[in-house]
Amino acid sequence: MPLDAIQRELLNKIADLHEVPQGAYSLRINGQLHGKNSSENITIEKKTDKPGIDIYIKAGTKNESVHIPVLLSQTGITELVYNDFHIGEDADVTIVAGCGIHNGGSEKSEHSGIHSFFLEKNSKVKYVEKHYGSGDGSGENVMNPTTYVELAEGATMEMETAQIKGVDSTDRTTKAVLGDNATLIVHEKLMTHGKQYAKTTFEVELNGENSGTHVVSRAVARDNSHQVFLSNIHGNNRCSGHTECDAIIMDDASISAIPEISAKHIDASLIHEAAIGKIAGEQLIKLMTLGLTEKEAEEQIIGGFLK
Amino acid sequence: MLEFRNVSYSAGDADILNNVSFTVDERFVAVTGPNGSGKSTVAKLISGIYTPTSGQILFDGIDITNMSITDRAKSGISFAFQQPVRFKGLTVKDLISLAASKDGKKISAAEACQYLSEVGLCAREYIGREIDASLSGGELKRIEIAMTMARDGKLTVFDEPEAGIDLWSFNNLISVFKKMYEKTHGSIIIISHQERILEIADKIILIADGEIADVGSGDEILPKLLKNGYAFGSCSRLSNGRRREEK
């Protein structure tokens, strides 16, 4: 069954795709698996005990990608999906996930994805996740993603998550456990407007020797929206950890940033930084002297900040 | 090109400028005076960051006294800040492109690089850099000047371009201004204390205690200024050396 215009638009927003992707993919639409495709090195299997899929990436797979977008274009769907990723030794892959909701009705649409990543020795994953909501109905768009990451010795995971528009309520949790020489890098971008609410929680256990993490969040809260950022990095071995939350507050929004670091080892080196502030007046003035209106200047500053 | 008619400006109880009138039709005009005399206020009144308490500002015969910063920029007034602003996430290319974009025209990466080279920055190294805390004050200052070159305004105002620049960069800065002097289609106003900048001005406006103390050609004003100690040489040994050469 071909995609309709709304579904194509959602797919474009969350995965930069115009049609059903090539190569390994799984596409879930309105609570059903719409289609999936395995490739030589990447196997996608539908779970039999609960909704969701298992993705197996063979050891040594290099420079391949998997797309697993989820689209909701009917109002009133609530789903909970379990996706497990098993990444073989020395593999180096890109995984593009994301959820797009178009809610044109009056009922709540909700997608909660529980993604678990098991990275074997020296494997590498770049994980990109975008969330987007649209629709002129009165029904809420809700997304509650949970990400669980287990990094074996020498494994690296780089996560890029973005939620820029249209999600009324989100509660995002990321938990990671790192082995020796493992690295986790997270870049989160978040913008809320209207009466939206977003809570994001990071919990990282640096258990391995020379493990390291950077958790960086950049957020903009506009209108009457509310954001909560929580991060907790545990240094349980010789390790390095850094968490940073940098937020721009606008209008009547509210933001709480609560970074926490805990060390249980003499050679754990942990840093947290958090900053909340409005757009600096001199930044607006500078761009206005280049011929931009105040509104255009604001858009440029936010666009750069969330780039 | 530009005219101040009896412009006064006060902030709270403090009178910063008092009944200031002057015209700028020359290609290169320097505004000088002691610290706290009101020089930077003149620059901010021209660019629209401040609005006069009383008086009128005319640009090309049009009253711009109450015109917004944005509209003044669009009508051809360009302003280089004394302390350039940092932006998280925006790159050198982003800002030079914004500066250059007029009437929907976009500049190419090669053109943007050209402006950076002219202020002595390796374009390849800087074009993608973010304008954030990773850049030094001197680097920011040069990028600020590259932006005004890209903007190519009818009237360009520089607020103390020498502030925060080391001596080596300062010599390059002078040659950048000399080049701009040759190329400009309009006027350049520089707020400065520096003798070597005042030397290349067609006209010098001296402000003291919020009032115009003297106006005239460089040849007339500069010797008086040096006698009174208003302008500072870039470094006494350097300017002594230069004077010796001149003898």
Contacts of B91 in chain A (CB under 8 A): 304
Domain count, chain B: 1
Tell whether the model's pLDDT for residue A102 goes beyond 90: no
pLDDT score of B103: 66
CB B173 within 8 A of CB B162: yes
Q: B222: helix, coil or strand?
A: helix
8 Å CB contact of B94 and A304: yes
Question: In terms of C-beta density within 10 A (0-12 exposed, 13-18 middle, 19 or more buried), how is residue B193 classed?
Answer: buried
pLDDT per residue over A142-174, tens digit each?
889 999 999 999 999 999 999 888 889 999 999
Amino acid at A191: M
Q: Where are the alpha helices (DSSP H) in B75-199?
A: 92-100, 109-118, 123-126, 137-151, 167-183, 195-198
The residue with greater pLDDT, B164 or A102, is A102
8 Å CB contact of B90 and A280: no
Question: From the CA of A300, how many Å to the nearest CA of chain B?
Answer: 8
- Residue B162: give its domain's CATH number: 3.40.50.300
Residue B156 belongs to domain spanning: 2-246
pLDDT score of B241: 45
Predicted TM-score (pTM) of the model is 0.84
pLDDT score of B242: 46
pLDDT score of A306: 92
Pairing of strands B203-208, A24-29: unpaired
Contacts of A282 in chain B (CB under 8 A): 81, 85
Cα dist. A97→A141, A188, B155 in Å?
A: 18, 14, 51
8 Å CB contact of A291 and B94: no
Tell whether the model's pLDDT for residue A257 goes beyond 90: yes
Q: Which of A238-252, A273-287, B68-82, B109-123 has the lowest mean pLDDT?
A: B109-123
Burial A123-141, CB ≥16 within 10 A → b, else e: bbbbbbbbbbbbbebebbb
| Residue range A38-55: mean pLDDT, rounded | 93
Cα dist. A133→A13, A71, A140, A168, B236 in Å?
A: 9, 10, 9, 8, 65
Question: From the CA of B53, how many Å to the nearest CA of chain A?
Answer: 20
Residue segments in chain B with a per-residue pLDDT below the cut of 70:
103-104, 168, 229-247
Question: In terms of C-beta density within 10 A (0-12 exposed, 13-18 middle, 19 or more buried), how is residue A59 classed?
Answer: middle
CA dist., res. B199 & res. A255, Å (int): 53
Question: From the CA of B100, how many Å to the nearest CA of chain A?
Answer: 8
Suggest the residue from A191, A216, A276, A286 to mutate for an interface test with chain B (most B CBs closer than 10 A): A286
Q: B152: helix, coil or strand?
A: coil
Tell whether the model's pLDDT for residue A295 goes beyond 70: yes
